[in-house]
Amino acid sequence: MKSVQFYQVFFPTIWLAWVIAWWVFAINVKVTIRRQPMLSRLMNMVLLWCAFGLLFWAQFIPVRGLMEHFVPLSQWQLWAALGALLTLLGLLFTVWARVYLGRNWSGMFATIKADHELVTGGPYALVRHPIYSGLLLAVVGTALAIGQWSGVLATALALIAILHRIRVEEGFMREQFGAVYDSYAKRVRALVPGVL
């Protein structure tokens, strides 16, 4: 029973710490000169909020099937530990990418900044969108730890939001950096090294 209590505290705490870090990181970024269209931003936000709602509040939503377990309860501790590790690694990867990106970071929405630089080193040498890779890994980890179908649905919604945002950002980067970005995109995968 103690491990259940640990994970009930661990996941909200680590996600809350990440959100606070994200707010702090929003200080001292470059001025935005172009922003993702409002409808596109709204779609991203709704999908992500629904995903996080499913991860953390699904037990309060009386929808049949969402509370069913896809992970055997007899193996829950193993899956919860794996989920905690993946969540931690994913969030740390986003922080590394954010710090490496520096003042070019765009926060919640796809943007182009004044004097925008194409960053291709550090985590950006592994994947073109390491913040999204890390975020998706963290969502998968939390979903595994929960072990319920609500987590699978949350992961699907987060993936849709992330793929949409990547499409918008890729368009911005190609317009801003042209052939240089195309060359980078040929060398480095978007989300998963060597795969996606």
130-151 pLDDT, tens digit per residue, is 999 999 999 999 999 999 899 9
Does the CA dihedral 149-152-156-161 come out positive or negative? positive
Q: Has residue 1 got a pLDDT over 60? A: no
0.85 surpassed by pTM: yes
Q: Has residue 14 got a pLDDT over 60? A: yes
Tell me what percent of the residues of the chain surpass a pLDDT of 90.
Answer: 56
What amino acid is encoded at 16 in this protein?
A: L
DSSP tag of 60: G
Which of residues 4 and 83 earns the better pLDDT score?
Answer: 83
Q: What is the pLDDT of residue 113?
A: 67
d(CA 185, CA 176): 14
What is the average pLDDT across 95-101?
92
Q: What is the pLDDT of residue 60?
A: 74
Classify domain 2-187 at the CATH class level: mainly alpha
User: How confident is residue 5, by pLDDT bands cut at 50, 70 and 90?
Assistant: confident
Q: Has residue 190 got a pLDDT over 60? A: yes
Buried b (16+ CB within 10 A) or exposed e, 149-174: bbbbbbbebbbbbbebbbebbbebbe
Q: What is the pLDDT of residue 180?
A: 94
d(CA 84, CA 138): 8
148, 69 in Cβ contact below 8 A? yes
Q: What is the pLDDT of residue 72?
A: 84
H/E element, 44:
helix 38-57
Beta partners for 111?
35
